[in-house]
Structure 1
Amino acid sequence: MRNPLPATALAAALFACVPAQAAEIDGARLAASWGIPFAGLLLSIALMPLLAPHFWHRHFGKVAAAWSIAFLAPFALAFGAPLAAASVVHALVAEYIPFVILLAALFAVSGGIFIRGNLHGSPGLNTAVLAIGAVLASFMGTTGASMLLVRPLIRANDNRRHRAHVFVFFIFIVSNAGGSLTPLGDPPLFLGFLKGVEFFWTVRQIFPETLFLVGALLAIFFALDSYYWHRREELLPRDPTPDTRGIGFDGARNFWLLGAVVALVLMSGLWKSPIAFDVFGTPVGLPGLVRDAGLILVTLVSLKVTPRRVHETNQFDWAPMAEVAKLFAGIFLTIIPVIAMLRAGTSGPFGPIVAAVTRPDGSPDPAMYFWATGALSSFLDNAPTYLVFFNTAGGDAATLMTTHAATLAAISAGAVFMGANTYIGNAPNLMVKAVAESRGVKMPGFFGYMAWSGAVLVPLFVAMTFIWFR
C-alpha cells in the first residue's frame, strides 16, 4: 500500500512534452478499442475482489497501473507524446486531484469522531439512525456517514438474532440514497460540480425523488424490523455491550472541521474569480486552489487534534483511502479516450450508445439515461459511470442544468441511487459489509444481497421512472 502508483511515473515522463496550449482529442478519429483499458479496469474492480481476493488485496495498485499504461503508452505512440501528456495533465489537475483531496478530508474528519455509549436497537431507534444517516450523507459524504454510524448501530443490535437486514437497509439508505442532494454526498455529484453543475442544483432537482426513495425505504424497513422485533426469542439472553451512562462523542472537534469542509466546497462554487493559472494548458481557477488548500489544511488539523485513542477505537487507518486513490488514478487516466469518443456523439464509435438514450426527434430520453446510468453503476463504479453519461448527454453543464435538466437529474439519480443494487456499486457498500462481518454480523453473499435489492429497490426505481423520468 505504500508503493506509489507505477503509472504516475509514465505520466510524469510525459509532462515535459506538454505544449503550452492543451489540444483536444478528436473522438471521431478513435476506434472503440481505445476503451478496452477503461473497461478492463472497471471489470477488474468488479470481479477480481470476488474471483481472486488475495491477489487483488495485494496488487490492486499494480492492476490499475497496468491498465493505465496499456492506454497511455500506445496512445503516446499513435498520437504523439504532447497530446497524451496534455490529456493526462487535464485529467489529473482538473478532476482527479480535487476529487481525492475532498475524499481524504471527509475520510479524515469522519474517522476522528467516535460515538460512545450503548443504544438499544428497537425498530424506532434503528429507523431513526437510518434517517439521521440519510441526512448526514449529503453533508459528510456517504463514506463518512457510513463509517460514523455503522459501528454504534452494530453495538445497538448486537443482542438481536436477526440483524443482517438492518445493515442491508443501511447500505441502501446511508451508503447510497442519502448522498444524492449535494456534491459532498457522493463522488459522482462532486465530479458534476467540478464540471460546472451548481452546488444546489441537485437538491433543487431531485429532492422529491430522494424524499420518495428514502421515505419508502424507511417505511419498509420499519415494518420489517418490527416483524422481527416482535417475534419470540428475538433478543439474546444477554446484551454483549454493557450499558453506559448516556451517549456522547469523542473527537467532537471534528464537527467544526466538517463545517469547514462544507464551507470550502460551497465557497468554491459561489466565488467567481477571473484569476486562473495555466498548468500545462489546463486552466486552474483561484477558487478551486483555495478550496483544495483549505481541505488539505482541514485534513492535517483533524489528524493533529484527534486523540489517538479515538482513531484506535474507530480502527482508523489510511488503507481504504489509499485504495480509492490508486484505483481512481487509473480510472481517470483510462477514461480519457472514452469521454472523447462519447463527446463525438453519433459520429463517434459509441454512436449506438448515444442513439439508445436518444429519442427519434434527437432529444435525450431521461428514462433511458436513468436506467443506463443506474445499470452500469450497479456493477461498475458510479463516479466514472456518471462522467460517461454526463458526456454522452453533451458534457455542457449550462445546457444540462437548463434545457436538459430532466436528463441530468436522471443521470444523477441513476448513478447515486442504483449504486445500492450490488455490493460493488459504491465503495461504502463493501466497507459496511466488511465492518459488519468483522463484528459478527452474518451478511448475505453477493447474490443474496442482490435478491434484497431486486425485491426492495427495483420496484421503487420502476415507480420513480413513471413518476419523474418519462
Structure 2
Amino acid sequence: MVQPLVVGARRLGLAAVPFGCLSLPALAAEQGHGVDGASLGGVWALPFVGILLSIALGPLLAPRFWHHHFGKVAAAWALAFLVPFAIVQGPPAVVTPLAEALLHDYIPFVVLLGALFTIAGGILVTGNLHGSPRTNLALLGIGTLLASVIGTTGASMVMIRPLIRANDGRRHNVHVIVFFIFLVSNLGGSLTPIGDPPLFLGYLRGIGFFWTTMHMLKETAFAAVVLLALFYAIDRRLYHRDDDFRGRLDPTPDTGRLGLEGVVNLLLLLVVVGAVLMSGAWKPGIGFRMFGVDVELQNLVRDALLIIAALASLWLTPAGLRARNGFEWGPIVEVAKLFAGIFVTIIPVLAMLRAAHDGAFAPLIRLVTAADGTPIDAMYFWATGLLSSFLDNAPTYLVFFNLAGGDPAHLMTEMAGTLVAISAGAVFMGANTYIGNAPNFMVKSIAEASGIRMPSFFGYMAWSAGILIPLFLITTLIFFL
C-alpha cells in the first residue's frame, strides 16, 4: 500500500527493508474485523472514499491547512465511520472491529515500518555519483533487485537518498523519483515473501518461500525491463535538455566515490528480518484475548524485537550521522497518522469484499469467475490490482486468495496461473497510487523534503495511467490470457 503507506504510507538499509510488508497479520483480514459484510450497504464505504479524496485533494487545494491538520482530518473520517456504526449497531459492536484493526493490523504495521524507517535512516551512503542516465539506470536496477531481498520498504529507504543526491543539481528529476516508486517501492518486491506484504501473507498460509521466485520471474522480469528501458529513454532525453541550465549550483557536488557508514544497522536489519520470519514459522499456540481479540505470543515477541532493534539503532548509530543523512521523522509520522484513519475506515470495505457474492461488491466478485465456475486469471489480476491501488494490498490479496479456494497446495499446482495473477496484481499495481504501498508515500515525503516538487495525488496517477496501465495491459495479453 497501502502498504495501505497504505499512504504513505502505506509510505523504508540494506537488510532493513523487507519488512515494511511483512508485519501485516492475516488473521484480522480473514475474520473481517467481526463485521458482517453481507449486511452492509455501500454507504458505509463513504468514510473510506472521503479519506482517500482528502489525501488526494487536501495538499492540492489547501496545502497549508493540510500540512498542519492532516492528522485531524484522518481522525475525523475515522469517527465518521465509528460513530454512526456505534449508533446503528450499538456501542459494543464497535469494540471488537476497532480492536482487531488496531491490534492485528495498525500497530504491527506502524511498528514494522517505524523500525525499518529508523534503522535504515542510520545507514549513510557517503559520496555522490553524477546523475547521468547510465548511473540512474544502475541505481534503479540495484534497488529493484534489493527489494526482493530486503523488502520494498528497506530498499526504498536505503536507495532513495543516494539517488536524490545524484540528481539534485538537475532541473528535470521528478521522473527519476516516479520510476523509483514504480520499480523499487513496488515491482521489485515480487519475488520473495520478504519483498512485499501480500506475498508474506501467502507464505504464512503455506505458499512455498521460493514459489513466487520460480513462477513470477518472467512476469516481473518483463515488466522491470520495460520500465527500465523506458526510464532510460526518458532520462536520456531530459538529461541532454539540462545542458543549458544555469540555476543554483549542485548542493552535493559529484565525488565519484561511494562509502557506507552506520554498518551496525545492517546487523539490526537482520534482527528485523529474523523477527518477521520467526513470527511466521514459530506457532507456540500461546496467547490471550483483549477486547475480544486473540493476541498471539509470536506476534508480541516480533513487535518487541522490532522496537528493541529500533531503539538500539538510535543508541548505536554514531552521533550526527542521521543529520548528515537528511533523516527526519516527518514521513513516518505522516504515514502513521494517515494510515490510522485508513485502517479504521477500511473495515467495512474489506468486510463487504469478503462477503463476496452476498456483499455490496458482488458484481465485482462475479467478474473473476466464468459461467462454468472456472477462474478468469486476467480478471483476478485486474480486480486484485485495482483494489490494491487504493486499499491495503495485503488484505486485498487475502480476499482473492480465499475467493480462489484458499488451499495453498491446489493454488500452487492446478491453479498456479490464478495465484500468479493474484500475486502480481497485488504487488505490481501498488504502484498505481501514492497509497497503494507504504513506501510510496514515504519516498514522496523524503523527495519533497529534499526540495523536489513531486506530483499531486492525481498528478502521480497521470504518470501511472500513462505508463503502468498500458504496461499491465500488455502483461495481461502475454501472461494471463
Could you tell me the TM-score, scaled by structure 2's length? 0.81
Query: Does residue 60 of the first structure (1) align with residue 74 of the second (2)?
Result: no
Return the alpha-carbon distance in structure 1 between the equivalents of residues 364 and 354 of structure 2.
12
Equivalent-residue separation in structure 1 for 2:331 and 2:173 (angstroms): 25
Contact 1:27 1:348 in 2 (8 A): yes
**2: CA distance, partners of 1:444 / 1:34:** 30
Q: AA paired with 1:53? A: P
The residue type paired with residue 295 of structure 1 is L
1:257-291 residue CA offsets vs partner (Å, 9 max, x unmatched): 11111111112212232323333332233322221
Distance 1:364 1:387, change over 3 A: farther
Per-residue CA distance 1:25-46 (angstroms, 9 max, x = gap): 3322222222222222223223
Q: Following the alignment from structure 1 to structure 2, what is the Cα–Cα distance between the partners of residues 242 and 416?
A: 36
Q: Deviations over 1:15-73 (max 9, x none)?
A: xxxxxx99943322222222222222223223322222222222222222222222222
Which residue in 1 is equivalent to 2:331?
Answer: 320
Q: Is the 8 A contact 2:55 2:457 kept in 1?
A: no
* Residues in 1 aligned to 2:124 and 2:288: alpha-carbon distance in whole angstroms: 40
Q: Mean Cα displacement is larger for which, 456-465 or 201-210? A: 201-210
In structure 2, what is the equivalent of residue 179 of structure 1? 189
Residue 447 of structure 1: how far off its partner (Å): 6.1
CA contact (8 A) 1:367 1:410 kept: yes
Note the C-alpha offset of 1:171.
Answer: 2.3
Q: Deviations over 1:312-335 (max 9, x none)?
A: 122323222122222222222222
Match of 2:354 among 343, 353, 360: 343
2:398 aligned partner: 390
**1:112 is matched with which residue?**
122
Q: Secondary structure at the match of 1:332?
A: helix
The more displaced of 385-394 and 89-98 is 385-394
Q: Which has the higher relative contact order, 1 or 2, with Cα contacts under 8 A spaced 6 or more apart?
A: 2
Report if aligned partners of 2:125, 2:260 keep a CA contact under 8 Å in 1: yes
The answer to whether structure 1 residue 273 and structure 2 residue 284 are counterparts is yes
Instruction: State how far apart, in whole Å, the 2-side matches of 1:289 and 1:163 are.
Output: 42
Show CA shifts across 1:66-95 (max 9, x none). 222222222223333333212222222222
Establish whether residue 420 from structure 1 lines up as the match of residue 424 from structure 2. Answer: no
Q: Please report how far the alpha carbon of residue 173 of structure 1 lies from its aligned counterpart in structure 2 after TM superposition.
A: 1.2
Aligned to 2:24: none
Query: Is 1:74 equivalent to 2:84 in the alignment?
Result: yes
Unaligned runs of 5+ in 1: 1-20
- Which amino acid counterpart does residue 424 of structure 2 have in structure 1? A
CA distance, structure 1, for counterparts of residue 447 and residue 477 of structure 2? 35
Higher mean alpha-carbon deviation, 97-106 vs 344-353, is at 344-353
**What does 1:227-242 align with in structure 2 at a 5 Å threshold?**
227=237, 233=243, 241-242=252-253
Q: State how many pairs are aligned.
A: 447
Q: Per-residue deviation at 1:310?
A: 1.5
Kept in 2, the 8 Å contact 1:22–1:83? The answer is: no
Query: Any conservation in 2 of the 1:338–1:388 contact (CA below 8 Å)?
Result: no
Conserved 8 A contact 1:369-1:389:
no
Cα distance, 1:308–1:314 mapped onto 2, change above 3 Å: same
Match of 2:300 among 285, 289, 301: 289
Q: Distance in 2 between matches of 1:262 and 1:84?
A: 34
Gaps of 5+ in 2: 1-30
Query: Aligned equivalents of 1:404 and 1:375: distance in 2?
Result: 21
1:199/1:269 contact within 8 Å kept: no
Residue of 99, 107, 129 corresponding to 2:109 = 99
User: For residue 3 of structure 1, what is the aligned residue in structure 2?
Assistant: none
Matches within 5 A, 1:326-337: 326-337=337-348
Superposition map of 1:235-254 within 5 A: 241-244=252-255, 246-254=257-265
**Residue 254 (structure 1) shift:** 0.8
State the alpha-carbon separation in 1 of the partners of residues 307 and 402 from structure 2. Answer: 33
Contact 2:400 2:422 in 1 (8 A): no
Corresponding residue to 1:372 among 383, 392, 401: 383
Percent same amino acid at aligned positions? 57
Contact kept, 8 Å, 1:38 with 1:331, in 2: the verdict is yes
Name the SS for the 1:394 alignment partner: helix
| Shift of residue 189, structure 1, vs aligned partner | 4.5
* Matching of residue 410 in structure 1 with residue 405 in structure 2: no
Instruction: Answer yes or no: is the 8 Å Cα contact 2:59–2:66 preserved in 1.
Output: yes
After TM superposition, the structure 1 = structure 2 runs for residues 434-449 of structure 1, keeping only pairs within 5 Å, are: 434-436=445-447, 439=450, 441=452, 449=460
Q: Is the 8 A contact 2:268 2:313 kept in 1?
A: yes
RMSD: 3.3
- Partner residue in 1 for 2:99: 89
Q: 1:170-249 alignment to 2 at 5 Å?
A: 170-189=180-199, 200-227=210-237, 233=243, 241-244=252-255, 246-249=257-260
Structure 1 match to 2:468: 457
Deviation at 1:300, TM superposition (A): 0.8
The residue type paired with residue 26 of structure 1 is D
Native 8 Å contact 1:41 1:331 kept in 2: yes
Contact 2:33-2:98 within 8 A present in 1 as well: no
8 Å contact 1:111–1:144 — kept in the other structure?
no
Alignment correspondent of 1:168: 178
Structure 1's 358 and 43: CA in aligned 2 closer, same or farther, altered over 3 A? Answer: farther
Letter in 1 for 2:147: A
> d(CA) in 1 for partners of 2:206 and 2:299?
12
Tell me which amino acid in the other structure corresponds to 1:107.
Answer: F
Secondary structure in 1 matching 2:320: helix
- Whether the aligned pair in 2 keeps the contact of 1:346 and 1:352 (CA below 8 Å) is yes
Task: Decide which of 114, 131, 134 is 1:121's aligned counterpart.
Answer: 131
Q: Please state if 1:352 is matched with 2:383.
A: no
C-alpha distance in structure 2 between counterparts of 1:329 and 1:175, whole Å = 21
For 2:93 and 2:457, the matched residues in 1 are separated by: 42
Q: Secondary structure at the match of 1:316?
A: coil
- Corresponding residue for 1:135? 145
Does structure 2 retain, via aligned residues, the 8 Å contact 1:199–1:266?
Answer: no
Q: Distance in 2 between matches of 1:117 and 1:391?
A: 45
More divergent stretch after superposition (283-292 vs 176-185): 176-185
Q: Secondary structure at the match of 1:283?
A: strand
1:26 maps onto 2:33 in alignment: no
TM-score, normalising length from structure 1?
A: 0.83
